[in-house]
């Protein structure tokens, strides 16, 4: 990205950033942006905590299949429903 990173650009790369799938240059841009943008810091922190909690509890709590399917459909994640 040649221009200064903005909030929308950060959101477009958010998943890859949290997953560690971005190159170092873009990661550096995101981190510089977050240093100046509290809103984006909160969004990134919340997503990281959500992913962490999901991984920590996914083996502890089994969500009933029908509830899981409804949730994924509501979130428009139909591709992840195991049939």
The DSSP line for 23-81 is -HHHHHHHHHHHHH-HHHHHHHHHHHHHHHHHHHHTTT-PPPHHHHHHHHHHTT-GGG-
pLDDT at 41: 94
What is the mean predicted confidence (pLDDT) over 64-83? 76
Residues 40-65 have pLDDT tens digits of 999 999 999 988 888 887 676 678 88
User: Percentage of the chain with pLDDT > 90?
Assistant: 42
Whole-model pTM: value is 0.62
- Structure-derived torsion over alpha carbons of residues 46, 15, 81, 64, reported in degrees to the nearest 10: -20
- Delimit the domains of the chain by residue range: 7-80
In the DSSP assignment, the letter for residue 20 is: T
pLDDT band at 5 (very low <50, low <70, confident <90, very high): confident
């Amino acid at each position: 990205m040649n221009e200064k990173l903005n909030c929308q650009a950060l959101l477009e790369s958010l998943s890859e950033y949290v997953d560690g799938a971005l190159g170092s240059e873009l990661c550096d841009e995101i981190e510089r942006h977050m240093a100046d943008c509290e809103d984006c810091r909160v969004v990134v922190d919340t997503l990281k905590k959500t992913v962490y909690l999901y991984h920590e509890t996914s083996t502890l709590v089994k969500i009933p299949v029908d509830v899981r399917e409804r949730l994924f459909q509501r979130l428009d994640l139909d591709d992840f429903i195991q049939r």
